[in-house]
């Protein structure tokens, strides 16, 4: 296991009309390139290329994440907790402690929030991303601090004395949640996920050191 960064596509934050326009533009450019109609000295061609790059920069953003193994998902589900609610709560808690390590505003980063009611496949991971189109690099700066961030998030969750699975604004609720914290959030599941991820990280770290 390792903390990963890169460019990801987080499609739910963009409208369907935007996708149709983007797909139309891609088809238009491919057709003109294939048949030699796209001339680089043409001002209209320049405009098309600019718009194409603009759409790509909107959809592809910078993010950093750590995968959650299938074994951890099974442990959470054995407790009859919501795995997606736990991932959402863990991401919120992680985001709440980022300002302890980096200079940033709450609007610079956002957590990936899986909808517990969505039946489609969702990768198990704790992920934060740059909210601004194209990325500002803030999420990339969190990568070296990710183990510390996870430990700080775990301490925040275990030390907060709020009652209920949905927690409070001090621990698992986030001001930048795109669902306004109204979709299922599970604090106990988040504690299990972060604890087991940290245990797995230390196990793999010791295995690599011994080899």
Q: Is the pLDDT of residue 52 over 60?
A: no
SS3 assignment, position 200 = helix
**Do the Cβ atoms of 153 and 90 come closer than 8 Å?**
yes
Query: What is the mean pLDDT of the segment spanning 57-73?
Result: 80
In this prediction, residue 11 has a pLDDT band, given cuts at 50, 70 and 90, of very low
Q: Report the C-alpha gap between 63 and 3 in whole angstroms.
A: 11
Q: Among 41-45, 64-68, 80-84, 115-119, which is the least confidently predicted range?
A: 41-45
In this prediction, residue 189 has a pLDDT band, given cuts at 50, 70 and 90, of very high
Which range, 34-43, 123-132, 176-185, is most confident? 123-132
Q: Report the C-alpha gap between 181 and 115 in whole angstroms.
A: 11
**Do the Cβ atoms of 87 and 191 come closer than 8 Å?**
no
pTM above 0.85, yes or no: no
**Per-domain boundaries in the chain:** 8-59, 62-210
pLDDT value, residue 13 = 40
Residue 149 gets which letter from DSSP? H
**Do the Cβ atoms of 186 and 85 come closer than 8 Å?**
yes
């Amino acid at each position: 296991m390792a903390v990963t960064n890169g460019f990801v596509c987080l499609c739910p934050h963009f409208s369907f009309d935007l996708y149709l326009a983007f797909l139309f533009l891609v088809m238009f450019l491919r057709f003109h390139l294939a048949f030699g109609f796209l001339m680089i000295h043409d001002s209209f061609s320049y405009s098309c290329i600019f718009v194409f790059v603009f759409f790509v920069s909107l959809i592809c953003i910078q993010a950093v994440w750590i995968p959650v193994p299938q074994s951890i998902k099974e442990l959470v589900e054995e407790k009859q907790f919501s795995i997606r609610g736990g991932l959402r709560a863990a991401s919120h808690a992680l985001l709440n402690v980022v300002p302890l390590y980096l200079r940033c505003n709450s609007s610079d980063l956002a957590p990936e929030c899986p909808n517990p009611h969505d039946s489609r496949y969702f990768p198990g991971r704790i992920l934060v991303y740059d909210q601004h189109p194209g990325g500002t690099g803030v999420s990339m700066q969190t990568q070296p601090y990710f183990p510390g961030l996870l430990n700080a998030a775990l301490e925040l969750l275990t030390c907060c004395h709020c009652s209920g699975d949905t927690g409070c604004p001090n621990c698992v609720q986030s001001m930048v949640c795109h669902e306004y914290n109204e979709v299922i959030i599970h604090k106990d599941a988040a504690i299990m996920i972060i604890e087991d991820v940290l245990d797995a990280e230390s196990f793999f770290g010791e295995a690599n050191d011994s080899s």
